[in-house]
Structure 1
Amino acid sequence: MADFTKAIELNPKFGEAYISRGLLQAVLSDFQGALEDFNQAILLSKDPDPKMNLLWNGTPVEDYESLGMYRRIADNLLEGVEENDQNSRTAGIHKYRGDIRLQLKDTEGALQDYNEAIKLAPKQADAYVARGDYYTQMQQAEKAKADYNKAITIYSESIENPTIKASLFIHYSDRAEVYSKIKNYQAAIADYTQVIDIGGPNLFLSYESRAVIYQQIKDYEAAIKDFSKAIAIQPEFIRIYGRRAIVYLEMKNYEAALTDLSKIIELGKNSQETEEFVVVFAYLQRGKLYQQAKNYQGAIEDFSSLIKLQPNSPESVEVYGRRGLSYAQLKNYPAAIEDFSSLIKLQPKNHQGYTYRCRVYIELKDYNQAMKDCNQAVAIAPNNPEVYFARAGVHSGLKNYSAAIKDADKIIEIAPDFPVGYWVRGAMYFAQNNPSKALSDYELALSKNHKFAPAISSIAYVKYEQGDKQKAIELWQKALTIQDDLTGTKLALAVALYQEGQPEKALSLAKEAIKIDERFKDINHLQDNLWGKQLIQDTKPLLNKVK
């Protein structure tokens, strides 16, 4: 930047310096500064200084050295433009200025510049591509397609009649990119294959580009193969690991994804030039995988690293919620409340912070604070079933089952095909000693999702109270086959097995459940979870054995 500014100070008519500085300012997101430089470059192009030797192919000349122009932003500002073609040079500047105006949301000015660029140099494909991108953004699909097709025609002519054989690499790459814009993915793949066969510079980027197309058409195996070839050529190029990790995630190959995400984090620690957003992505995705695998401490560490890197990024906002949920799973409720409070501070109009914090207060039996948070969540998101589910939990904790039923009714009203509302209402009817209504709602829940394990388990609770222990055992086993993390169900099954004369199996299962959550050793906790009187009575001798 300093060199370009010095060049302009030494010769204010040096248009190339304004263009180069404008490009650099655009890279640095100083779009207003870039716009001013391109404006000046266009003015100079109308009355060029014949003494200024403007080369557009990156060749170093004496004028550059004398003006301190030791670094160029682009090796090729206008590929294929004749050295003395002033119209083409000016067209290129209009194209760049159009890009900047589009960034500044001056859509009318951007279109004017793209039109002027095409008028001055109708054989320059990049102006048509830029205008096609503009029309795409403006949701004018037919105009965008026409411009992309025009660019393809120009690139095709260059490929058929190349003035320099090496330029084929560039033309195939450019045409492939445009083919992908119009979703002609097979043509894009064919062009990237030509680029790879030619074997031009930065071949790893061509493999990466073709892999991205394979990913878009869901040919994941081919995508992985190309990303892997790119990595073999350039093993330190961190972005490609991120792209390959995304494909592994789409394939549900979580172990391979975890390996790539860990590699990104390792490379990020050892490089000063790492793209930070890729490392942020890696911490976020690896944290999610750890959370999914119930490695909550690992998730917390990754989420904490992300927050440290970018404390105010959109990802960090999401991560406060995710880290808080991990803390809650580890029963570190103060840390969870702190994270959810941070989420509320960052997004006061988002119900999730209040909803999550409400659930923690329920666990702490602080129903007053829980109700405040849940009411706030309902006020923010009155059409979201999640907030009523949380508030029903508060009402249940307060033994206000009628109020909980009203919230369950609201869930059903908002999401009638969602099994949770029926299940919650059934649980409240069971708490009110109304087993017939409870069973009816549990069956309704299963009609919405026949694999909804909580409803299957809840039917078993009713059956046990009705004396049908064998049916209860069968249902609890079925529920755990579908969802093996239902701690209360594990203990209930253990109790039933113990009563049916299978003490060894019962004790093993009971110990497993209590190891997961020690609160299930407390009869009061079982009552809070709406266990029936007979089941609680039968649990006492088993708990005595476990102790």
Structure 2
Amino acid sequence: MFKRILLLPIFVLLAWMTKPAPVSGQALLPYTLQLDAEELEQQGLNLAQDAVQLTRFQQYDLALSRAKLATQLAPNSFETWFILGTLYIQNQQLDEGIEALSKAQSLKPEEAGVLFSLGNAYFQKEEYRKAVSSLEAGLKIEPEVPEALFDLGNAYYMLNQYPMAIAAYEKAAAQEPSDTWPVWPAINNIGLVMYEQGDVAGAIDKWQDSIAIDPEAAEPKLAVAVALYTQGEQDRGLALGETALRSDERYGDLDFLKENLWGERLIADTQKFLANPRIQATLAPGDNIPVQVDVTP
């Protein structure tokens, strides 16, 4: 599962779009013009809501065009800029996304969701200090958002601030999730940090904990496999690695592992592991027979 950083699900904005359009305070304007302005703003909010709905069906181009028009019709609504910025980020137009989200923040500085999305964009631009600043600002407003805590851990990890990363991951794992996300990835990433620090045994323990939470997760299985293989338990490591890669072959790609924040030490050991003929055969096309392996220490 790709877990570099989490986007705030855009469909949660639907709740905000039910708000009535703000009333103009310019009492000296003719009533008809004031009504037109209100109607235009409401049309903009409706278009923004349409954009949110379209993302549910992955019609991102249509959603983006509606979101752009929404900001023109309702330029003083933070929701329209928030939605536009989030869509830009999802479309990997990071600079445009940051510009739109910054506009949303200027309209509503205390909206945590905007700050979390800004942290997302800065992280993807590899501006990790700005990501930390935005995420921490959002967490001061809403301190118990597990996805944001997870994202903060990722940003600290990329800054090599390992104690801060572990603290954020632990807070993320301690929150009440709707499912196993982001609990197992947070615990898994603590293992990544520990491995880079040279604590292989501690890393294996964390990865085992992740497997216990989500037995289908391929990433912690492969990480344990690499660690065992590197420590000399080659047969056990290879068998577990075959299981992991047969369930999700993307983890046989070093670039994909780097996107999932595998550090230099673990990547170097994984490169040796993937070069093993048994693993090469597992990654060969057509070889997809599952293998059951005991992953307990």
For the 8 Å contact 1:351–1:381, the answer to whether it is kept is yes
Change (3 A) 1:341 1:526: closer
**Are 1:357 and 2:121 matched, yes or no?**
no
Match among 145, 160, 166 for residue 384 of structure 1: 145
Query: Partner residue of 1:400?
Result: 161
> How much is the aligned-residue C-alpha RMSD, in angstroms?
3.6
Q: Which residue of 2 aligns with 1:445?
A: 213
Question: Is 1:472 equivalent to 2:241 in the alignment?
Answer: yes
SS at match of 1:532: helix
- Equivalent residue number for residue 269 of structure 2: 534
Report the alpha carbon displacement of residue 442 of structure 1 after superposing the two structures with TM. Answer: 0.5
Matched with 1:369 is: 130
Q: CA deviation at 1:437?
A: 1.9
Name the structure 2 match of 1:432.
194
Tell me, yes or no, if structure 1 residue 284 matches structure 2 residue 19: no
Match among 222, 228, 240 for residue 460 of structure 1 = 222
Determine which structure has the larger helix proportion and give its number.
1
Q: TM-score normalised to the size of structure 2?
A: 0.62
Letter in 2 for 1:442: S
Instruction: Please say if residues 362 and 397 of structure 1, whose CA atoms lie closer than 8 Å, have aligned partners that are also in contact.
Output: no
Distance 1:302 1:348 in 2: 24
Kindly tell me: are residues 536 and 296 of structure 1, through their superposed partners in 2, closer, same or farther at Cα, counting changes over 3 Å? farther
- Residue 326 of structure 1: which of 87, 90, 94 is its match? 87
The answer for unaligned runs of 5 or more in structure 2 is: 1-22, 24-35, 196-201, 230-236, 281-297
Deviation track 1:294-313 (CA, whole Å, cap 9, x = no partner) reads 44333221211122222234
Contact kept in structure 1, 2:82 and 2:114, CA below 8 Å:
yes
Q: 1:463 to 1:288 in 2, by over 3 A?
A: farther
Larger Rg: 1
Question: Post-superposition shift, 1:388?
Answer: 1.5
| Aligned equivalent of 2:76 | 312
Give the count of matched residue pairs. Answer: 226
Looking at structure 2, the residues matched to 444 and 278 of structure 1 have their Cα atoms a distance apart, in angstroms, of 49
Distance 1:371 1:306, change over 3 A: same
Equivalent residue number for residue 174 of structure 2: 413
The one-letter code matched in structure 2 to 1:445 is: I
**Structure 2 contact 74–80 (Cα < 8 Å) conserved:** no
Task: Read off the aligned partner of 1:443 and give its amino acid letter.
Answer: I
For 1:443 and 1:328, the matched residues in 2 are separated by: 31
Distance in 1 between residues matched to 2:253 and 2:143, nearest whole Å: 40
- How far apart, in 2, do the equivalents of 1:361 and 1:381 lie? 19
C-alpha separation between the residues in 1 aligned to 2:125 and 2:98?
A: 11
Residue 302 in structure 1 maps to residue 66 in structure 2: yes
| 1:538 CA drift (Å) | 6.2
TM-score (norm 1): 0.36
Q: 1:368, 1:414 → 2: CA distance?
A: 24
Counterpart CA distance in 2 for 1:307 and 1:366 is: 27
Inter-partner Cα distance in structure 1 for 2:41 and 2:145: 32
Q: Which has the higher contact order (CA 8 A, sep 6+)?
A: 2
Q: Which runs of 5+ in 1 are unaligned?
A: 1-28, 30-271, 481-488, 496-519, 543-547
Q: Distance in 1 between matches of 2:42 and 2:207?
A: 50
Q: Aligned with 2:126: secondary structure?
A: coil
| Pair 279,459 (structure 1): closer, same or farther in 2 beyond 3 Å | farther
CA pair 526-335 structure 1, distance change in 2 beyond 3 A: closer
Q: Against the structure 1 CA distance between its residues 526 and 372, is the aligned structure 2 distance closer, same or farther, given a 3 Å change threshold? A: closer
Identical pairs, percent: 15
